[in-house]
Amino acid sequence: GDLTLGQQVFDNNCAACHMGGQNSVQPEKTLQKAALEQYLEGDFSVASITTQVENGKGAMPAWSGRLDSDEINSVAEYVFKQANGNLW
């Protein structure tokens, strides 16, 4: 994955609901580490983020078929890095 691509994908497709790592639809389900540890299916990992991005969950749309696998892997790595480093 490529973090520059990941940030671009995030800004273009995710920030509408997740500006600054927040969640404008379900406010408690932020993209911060503590929330991901609590709410993500599975562990706090790039793989678990990838699964949610591919399949969607609740009011979040699925991105398979709309983003390619390189874009999905890159945005998942970007979200993980931002959360793990408390960068948002």
Interface contacts to ligand HEM, rule CB under 6 A? 13-14, 16-18, 23, 25-26, 29-31, 35-36, 39-40, 49, 52-53, 57-61, 63, 75, 79
Residue nearest to ligand HEM (CB): 58
Residue (1 or 63) nearer to ligand HEM, CB: 63
Residue (1 or 14) nearer to ligand HEM, CB: 14
What tokens appear for 34 in the block?
A: 């503590």
The helix-helix angle for 46-55 and 69-84 (nearest 10°) equals 130
Q: How far is Cα 34 from Cα 23, in angstroms, rounded to an integer?
A: 14
